[in-house]
Amino acid sequence: MDFALTPEQRAFQQTVIRFATRELNEEVTPRDGRGEFSREAWNRCARFGIQGLPVPEAYGGAGADALQITLAMEALGYGCRDNGLLFSLNAQMWSCEMPLVRSGSEDQKRRYLPGLCDGRLIGVQAMTEPTSGSDAFGLRTTARRDGDRYVLNGSKTFITNAPVADLFVVFATVDPDAPLKGLTAFLVERDTPGLTIGRPLHKMGLRTSPMAELAFEECVVPPAALLGGVGAGAAIFNSSMDWERSCILGCALGTMRRQLERCIEYAKTRHQFGQPIGKFQAVSHTIAEMRVRLETARLFLYKVGWMKATGQRTGLESAMVKLYVSECFLQSSLDAVQVFGGYGYMAEYELERDLRDAVGSRIYSGTSEIQKNIIAAHLGL
């Protein structure tokens, strides 16, 4: 059993860190205050090759495996302080690109994947509805067959990237009496008549990742918009969620490492009561716990990345790693603010933003409670 990264993997991570540090940190705090998405940073990521990591080379991507992508996400989280940008990148990669890679027709792949890789297109998934959040399969959006086309009606909410997206993977049911059985995925372009993108939603954190509601009113799409065929929606959604849960918190590793390094430095240089605050056990033990969380979270994420890269099933592991790393991320963000005290509460120190962003990790891609349900189900409970 070898836990060491190869020289190539270490060099790759350092390259990503240098890129992120140099190219992705312009005016993060002001943009967070305005809730402003940076298309320029998005395009820089595309030119570097981030969006193309999980996409086969034949469609403009890099064909990287899950472990290499996890290493890249960790490096991005360390070098880039814009957690919202990173969240939007993950949203496209796992909920739009992977469904296309795994379930798209050859025409669909060639039509959309190159643009998603090179930054010309932004994509996202549209599943969550006002009345179906954790109960994802209780959706009410319908797809009615009308001759050789489908007509979508319904609404979606909390749709990441919606204000700037060009392509939506929309889930609707062709059988309102059996929504799960009839669940079907459609590729809907932004300018499709009948699709309305609502007002931007203002969030506690991840503010530089745009979010909005969607409405479908007699929205007509052709049969070519079907992704994976009628009734394939549940399998497509579950697969995309497995990938998302396995990889989306890779960025949190990098952020946790950056927080730890800042806390160590601060504990050495901040003096109170005649000595560095790191000499007080209340502070040093807190930082020690941050280090333990970082190490265990990294091992767990790397293991899941290795499992996916070697073709193993990860339904149980992806739920466990999503639960564990999100809880670690939130607690370490709380600890970092506490170590810095009043300064940690100030926006200019950027730790309060990390904390606000970390709260969302316990909710998106399935809440912590839902992950526990999935884990329990795998245990036969």
pLDDT of residue 1: 75
Average pLDDT over residues 168-189: 93
Question: Which pLDDT band holds residue 247 (cuts at 50, 70, 90)?
Answer: very high
CA contacts within 13 A on the Cβ side of 285:
3
Residue 134 has pLDDT above 80, yes or no: no
Separation of alpha carbons 109 and 117, rounded Å? 11
Q: How many domains does the chain have?
A: 3
Segment 343-362, tens digit of pLDDT? 999 999 999 999 999 999 99
Segment 8-44, tens digit of pLDDT? 999 999 999 999 999 999 999 999 999 999 999 999 9
Q: Which residues of 332-362 are buried (b: 16+ CB within 10 A; e: fewer)?
A: bbbbbbbbbeeebeeeebbbbbbbbbbbbbb
Q: Is residue 348 part of a domain?
A: yes
Residue 142 has pLDDT above 90, yes or no: yes
Compute the mean pLDDT over every residue in the chain, rounded to the nearest whole number: 96
Separation of alpha carbons 320 and 77, rounded Å? 21
Residues 301 and 261 in one domain: yes
Q: Is 244 tagged catalytic?
A: yes
pLDDT of residue 137: 78
Give the active site residue among 244, 317, 350, 352: 244
CATH number, domain containing residue 93: 1.10.540.10
Residue 274 has pLDDT above 90, yes or no: yes
Segment 305-340, tens digit of pLDDT? 999 999 999 999 999 999 999 999 999 999 999 999
Q: Is residue 241 part of a domain?
A: no
* DSSP annotation string for 163-197: GG-SEEEEEEES-TTSTTTTEEEEEEETT-TTEEE
Partner residues linked to 152 by β-bridges: 143, 219
pTM for the full model?
0.95
Of 68, 88, 122, which residue is a domain's last?
122
Residues 223 and 326 in one domain: no
Quote the percentage of the chain above a pLDDT of 70. Answer: 100
Residues 137 and 112 in one domain: no
- The pair of three-digit structure tokens given for residue 238, joined into one six-digit string: 């579950």
Of 88, 122, 156, which residue is a domain's last?
122
pLDDT of residue 275: 96
Q: Is residue 237 part of a domain?
A: no
Domain range for 331? 249-378
Segment 51-82, tens digit of pLDDT? 999 999 999 999 999 999 999 999 999 999 99
**Nearest in space to 354 (alpha carbons), one of 145, 207, 216:** 207
Could you identify the residue written with the tokens 């970092």?
336
Could you identify the residue written with the tokens 């981030």?
50
Residues 167 and 73 in one domain: no
Q: Is residue 284 part of a domain?
A: yes
